[in-house]
């Protein structure tokens, strides 16, 4: 009862920002992402009747209580689906540059959904996996697939029509995404908290909802026509609009730091000098810059000089989930020292 899966992170081009149902993680709007090749999570799950609690090991360390209880709740759903009540050892490794601050719950929950369902003997298709991953972290539903991925918000209360799908016509567009690392400190306001505050208090949230589906259509059209400027312009405008809702929330907040603003300026300067580069920013200060492969080096050289920029990682479109063959090693053997520890439920 053991399986290993791998999932890559994704960057939102048109953001998911706001939930219409907090517990089922149903979004207010549809969104669009690009799965990246560089950063991924590998997770092994082993269920065993010999365990009395779940154990979650992340990057070779026992997870803290908060993470442990989130994973246990997620496994509870899978146990219920399978009609089994075994506990599990979950051993997860984030393959991101050391302390890069790009670790993502998206790749984490996509890999966990795939590995845990396979280990317990459920044979879910990708749509069902996407729906399940969504319940761990909204953006995780998009990491089931590679390349450009659309998450349709759905309208049903039970969430059965809220899942991701690969975008038709999105294959094989050779884009570069430069991940600009400014800080690896954990953010003060989580994406969940931030979007909740924006939904409940931001005077700009209604405008966000009025315009985001149009942004999505423009982005899809740009991808279909391989129109890089059209895609970059709408991606950048959509990111700025999402962040504008944070400035207009009560109390106001921002995910940016001063270096974020300098990188935005740097990208705009590059454009003024004729280089097609566009930025986007998720719920944190780090910036992702979209450009064409031929411009990668020029963009890198301009941005790496900006004070506050620690590192730049070059990414390309990446794959969806994959299953890896298990090592002969029992995960249970890893956890002898943790066996009798209580885990927060
Ligand atoms: O999936 P979450 O709960 O981490 O939220 C992700 C929110 C954004 O990254 C800001 C946007 C997105 O679509 O990924």
Of the pLDDT bands very low, low, confident and very high (cuts 50, 70, 90), residue 187 is confident
- How much is the mean pLDDT over the chain? 93
CB of 255 closer than 8 Å to CB of 247: no
Length of the chain measured in residues: 345
CB of 118 closer than 8 Å to CB of 3: yes
Three-state SS for 80? Answer: helix
**Residue percentage of the chain with pLDDT more than 70:** 92
How remote is the CA of residue 191 from the centroid of ligand 1, in Å? 6
Cα gap 283→243, rounded to integer Å: 8
Report the pLDDT value the prediction gives residue 186, as an integer from 0 to 100.
78
For residue 251, cis peptide bond before it (omega within 30 degrees of 0): yes
- Cα distances from 45 to residues 39, 91, 129, in angstroms, run 20, 6, 15
Q: For residue 325, what is the DSSP state?
A: P
**Residue percentage of the chain with pLDDT more than 90:** 87
List, in order of start, the domains of the chain with CATH numbers. Answer: 2-171+320-344 (3.30.230.10), 176-315 (3.30.70.890)
How remote is the CA of residue 139 from the centroid of ligand 1, in Å? 5
46 beta partners: 2, 89
Q: Radius of gyration over alpha carbons of the chain, in Å?
A: 20
Report the pLDDT value the prediction gives residue 329, as an integer from 0 to 100.
66
Best of 14, 15, 103 for a ligand 1 pocket test (most atoms within 8 Å of beta carbon): 15
Q: In the structure, which protein residues have their CB atom closer than 6 angstroms to any atom of ligand 1? A: 12, 15-16, 31, 105, 137-139, 191-192, 282-283
The burial class, CB within 10 Å (0-12 / 13-18 / 19+), for 112 is: buried
**pTM score:** 0.94
Report the pLDDT value the prediction gives residue 99, as an integer from 0 to 100.
54
Q: For residue 225, what is the DSSP state?
A: T
Which region among 4-13, 253-262, 335-344 has the lowest average model confidence (pLDDT)? Answer: 335-344
Instruction: For 256-291, give the DSSP string.
Output: --HHHHHHHHHHHHHHHTT--EEEE--SSS-EEEEE
Residue 156, pLDDT above cutoff 90: yes
Residue 345, pLDDT above cutoff 50: no
Please measure the distance between the N-terminal and C-terminal CA atoms of the chain and give it in whole angstroms. 23
Of the pLDDT bands very low, low, confident and very high (cuts 50, 70, 90), residue 103 is low
What digits encode the pLDDT tens for the residues 254-283?
Answer: 999 999 999 999 999 999 999 999 999 999
Cα gap 276→262, rounded to integer Å: 18
272 beta partners: none
Q: For residue 193, what is the DSSP state?
A: H
Best of 8, 11, 16 for a ligand 1 pocket test (most atoms within 8 Å of beta carbon): 16
The token pair at 96 is 């991101």
Across 37-55, average pLDDT? 95
């Amino acid at each position: 009862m053991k399986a290993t899966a791998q999932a890559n992170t994704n960057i939102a081009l048109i953001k998911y920002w706001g939930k219409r149902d907090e517990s089922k993680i149903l979004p207010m709007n549809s969104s669009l992402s690009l799965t990246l090749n560089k950063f991924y999570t590998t997770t092994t799950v082993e269920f065993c009747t010999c365990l009395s609690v779940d154990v979650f090991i992340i990057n070779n360390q026992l997870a803290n209580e908060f993470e442990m209880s989130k994973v246990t709740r997620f496994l509870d759903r899978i146990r219920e689906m399978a009609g089994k009540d075994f506990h599990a050892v979950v051993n997860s490794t984030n393959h991101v540059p050391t302390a890069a601050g790009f670790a993502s719950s998206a790749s984490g929950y996509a890999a966990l959904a795939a590995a845990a369902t396979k280990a317990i003997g459920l044979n879910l298709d990708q749509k069902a996996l996407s729906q399940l991953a969504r319940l761990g972290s909204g953006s995780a539903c998009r990491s089931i697939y590679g390349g450009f991925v659309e998450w349709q918000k759905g309208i049903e209360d039970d969430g059965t029509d809220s899942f991701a799908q690969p975008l038709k016509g999105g294959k094989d567009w050779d884009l570069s995404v430069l991940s600009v690392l400014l800080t690896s400190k954990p953010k003060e306001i989580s994406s969940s908290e931030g979007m909740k505050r924006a939904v409940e208090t931001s005077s700009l949230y209604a405008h966000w909802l009025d315009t985001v589906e149009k942004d999505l259509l423009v982005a899809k059209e740009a991808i279909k026509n391989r129109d890089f400027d059209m895609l970059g312009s709408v991606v950048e405008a959509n990111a700025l609009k999402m962040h504008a809702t944070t400035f207009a929330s009560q109390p106001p907040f921002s995910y940016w730091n001063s270096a974020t603003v300098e990188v935005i300026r740097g990208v705009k300067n590059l454009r003024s000098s004729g280089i097609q580069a566009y930025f986007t920013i998720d719920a944190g200060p780090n910036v992702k810059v979209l450009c064409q492969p031929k411009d990668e080096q020029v963009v890198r050289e301009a941005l790496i000089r900006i004070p506050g920029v620690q590192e730049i990682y070059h990414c390309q479109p990446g794959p969806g989930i994959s299953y890896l063959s298990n090592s002969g090693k029992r995960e249970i053997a890893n956890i002898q020292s943790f066996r009798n520890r209580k885990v927060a439920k």
